[in-house]
């Protein structure tokens, strides 16, 4: 008789538009039993809409919670990794700069003899590290540097000029702007609100310096890690 009472209560709750979860809070039976009892109980359109809205709200709360957990974990990983770097020595900055130029700098080729030291990138963090390398390690004075912005014609070049001026720490008058043709059929485009184009940093009269960096790069490529016979480090 008790089971019959529970079944009647469950059906009555369902007819009021309650969800399975809400009914189970009032009628403590197995979910499979509840499903069997209620399979023939229909819902009005309004009741169905209410349950759908509750389900979506629950999914959204779950997504928000998951997103916050992901952001918190990401921040924890980044902050821990940032602390591991600490303060760079001059030698470390020297090596970092060589690697940066190796990846993003202009090299001298047989068909392009006498290339000045030229670095291209759109990442402001990388630009700042590279400038420290130029000033601290290579002792390049500010008046020997030339700044060029390459940006799509349709982009906000004034905003880009202000942005790079802040990053580099020089007057906007120190920059030359070159406009790129806007290809509307390009598959990959970066022309949104945070698009500031590409910054090119040239060092005047620096072809010999470029060759010196090429020698450093060559030395870096052929060097072995200290304390390791095969160039690997098992601790990493």
Residue 204 to residue 21: CA distance in whole angstroms: 72
The strand pairing partners of 105, in sequence order, are 119
pLDDT digits (tens, 9 = 90+) for 21-56: 888 888 888 988 888 888 878 777 777 778 788 888
CA distances from 65 to 26, 54, 69 (A): 27, 16, 6
CA-based angle 62:65:66, to the nearest 5?
Answer: 85
pLDDT digits (tens, 9 = 90+) for 53-110: 888 888 888 889 999 999 999 999 999 999 999 999 999 999 999 999 999 999 988 6
Q: Give the closest residue to 132 by CA, choosing from 187, 173, 169, 183.
A: 169
């Amino acid at each position: 008789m008790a089971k019959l009472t529970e079944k009647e209560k469950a059906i009555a709750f369902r007819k009021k538009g309650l969800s399975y979860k809400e009914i189970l809070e009032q009628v403590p039976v197995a979910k499979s039993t509840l499903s069997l009892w209620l399979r023939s109980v229909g819902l009005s359109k309004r009741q169905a809409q209410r349950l759908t809205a509750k389900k979506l709200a629950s999914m959204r709360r779950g997504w928000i919670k998951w997103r916050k957990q992901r952001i918190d974990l990401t921040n924890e990983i980044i902050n821990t990794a940032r602390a591991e770097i600490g303060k760079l020595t001059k030698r470390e900055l020297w090596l970092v700069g060589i690697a940066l130029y190796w990846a993003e700098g202009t090299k001298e080729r047989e068909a392009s003899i006498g290339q000045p030291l030229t670095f291209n990138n759109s990442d402001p963090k990388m630009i700042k590290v590279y400038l420290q390398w130029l000033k601290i390690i290579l002792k390049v004075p500010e008046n020997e540097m030339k700044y060029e912005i390459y940006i799509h014609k349709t982009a906000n070049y004034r905003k880009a000029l202000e942005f790079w001026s802040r990053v580099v720490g020089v007057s906007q008058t120190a920059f030359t702007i070159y406009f790129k043709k806007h290809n509307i059929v390009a598959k990959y485009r970066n022309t949104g609100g945070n698009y500031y184009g590409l910054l090119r940093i040239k060092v005047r009269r620096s072809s010999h310096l470029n060759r010196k960096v090429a020698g450093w790069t060559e030395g870096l490529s052929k060097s072995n890690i200290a304390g390791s016979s095969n160039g690997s480090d098992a601790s990493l």
